[in-house]
């Protein structure tokens, strides 16, 4: 990755971060392989939180507006970014989307990154927390193969845990590997099908959002 490109991105990310701090918006950057369950988790999260918190969503995908349509179906404000072949979002794309969001101030802003375990991890968007999803169906070897995204994550969500009995996913072994890669990360087991872990996940978001609103720093 070009160092100049990354430096320019860092400057723009810093500007986004200043803007989010001024608005008291807690910003989450969701990253995973395609299909790990980001949009489904977002739908459930918004169902629980949108009545008590002002929520907005930036949807990143290479093509189509399908995820944005799913989110808009919930009555939540959403902007779609199509990267047209680029495998990640960058801080400039997020800055442009902020202009399109009608509501100036959110308690929580969710950014669904392009489904990819490699490039998104390299680009700071100005978020407070990167959240990595690992679904039990994609194989427990992914954190060791693609460590950066898991190293940079504040929270690792092991998703689709309802499917564990149908897979060879070894939760204990994967947890051990994740802890070795990122001892600081908060690991949660979630299922959008059974609701397992959703309360804990939403509780974490609420706590972080309240801290941010109180002007406390929540470094990502
Ligand atoms: N069994 C099960 N399926 C899930 C769960 N979460 C998502 N899925 C399914 O996984 C597929 C991909 O989900 P999606 O949210 O679109 O993934 P994304 O590409 O990361 O946004 C969809 O068919 C979902 O219904 C879960 O917790 N359990
Ligand atoms: Mg999606």
Q: How far apart are CA 153 and CA 29, in angstroms?
A: 9
50: how many CB neighbours lie within 10 A of its CB? 17
| Percent of the chain topping pLDDT 70 | 96
Q: pLDDT value at position 219?
A: 54
| Ligand whose nearest atom lies closest to the CA of 65 | 2
Q: pLDDT value at position 189?
A: 98
Cα four-point dihedral sign 176, 181, 184, 186: negative
The string of pLDDT tens digits covering residues 94-131 is 999 999 987 778 999 999 999 999 999 999 999 999 99
Task: Provide the 3-class DSSP secondary structure of residue 110.
Answer: strand
| CATH classification (class only), 3-212 | alpha beta
Closest-CA residue to 134 (of 164, 109, 110, 94): 164
Rounded distance from Cα 169 to ligand 1 centre (Å):
17
Low-confidence ranges of the chain (pLDDT < 50): 220
Q: Choose one of 29, 31, 34, 35 to mutate for the ligand 1 pocket test, by most ligand atoms within 8 angstroms of C-beta.
A: 35
Q: How far apart are CA 205 and CA 144, in angstroms?
A: 27
Closest-CA residue to 83 (of 46, 108, 56, 58): 58
- Measured from the CB, is residue 212 less than 6 Å from ligand 1? no
Ligand 2 is an ion; residues with CB less than 5 A from it: 38-39, 67
Rounded distance from Cα 30 to ligand 1 centre (Å):
14
Q: pLDDT value at position 16?
A: 97
List the structure tokens of 34.
Answer: 């395609």
Q: pLDDT value at position 19?
A: 94
Crossing angle between the packed helical segments 91-100 and 3-23, to the nearest 10 degrees: 40
| Ligand whose nearest atom lies closest to the CA of 69 | 2
């Amino acid at each position: 990755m070009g160092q100049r490109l990354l430096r320019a991105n860092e400057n723009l990310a810093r500007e986004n971060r200043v803007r989010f701090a001024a608005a008291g918006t807690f910003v989450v950057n969701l990253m995973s392989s395609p299909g790990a369950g980001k949009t489904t988790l977002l739908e459930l999260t918004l169902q629980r939180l949108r009545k008590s918190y002002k929520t907005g969503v930036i949807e990143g995908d290479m093509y189509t507006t399908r995820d944005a349509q799913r989110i808009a179906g919930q009555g939540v404000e959403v902007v779609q970014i199509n990267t047209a072949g680029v495998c990640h979002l960058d801080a400039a794309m997020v800055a442009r989307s902020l202009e399109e969001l009608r509501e100036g101030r959110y308690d929580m802003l969710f950014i669904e990154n392009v489904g990819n375990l490699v490039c998104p991890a390299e680009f700071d968007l100005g978020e407070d927390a990167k959240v990595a999803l690992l679904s039990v169906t994609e194989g427990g070897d992914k954190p060791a193969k693609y460590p950066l995204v898991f190293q940079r994550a504040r929270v690792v969500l092991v998703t689709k845990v309802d499917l564990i009995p149908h897979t060879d996913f070894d939760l204990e072994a994967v947890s051990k590997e994740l802890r070795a890669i990122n001892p600081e990360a908060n690991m949660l087991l979630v299922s959008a099908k059974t609701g397992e872990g959703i309360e804990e996940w939403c509780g974490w978001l609420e706590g972080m959002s309240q801290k941010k609103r109180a002007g406390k720093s929540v470094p990502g």
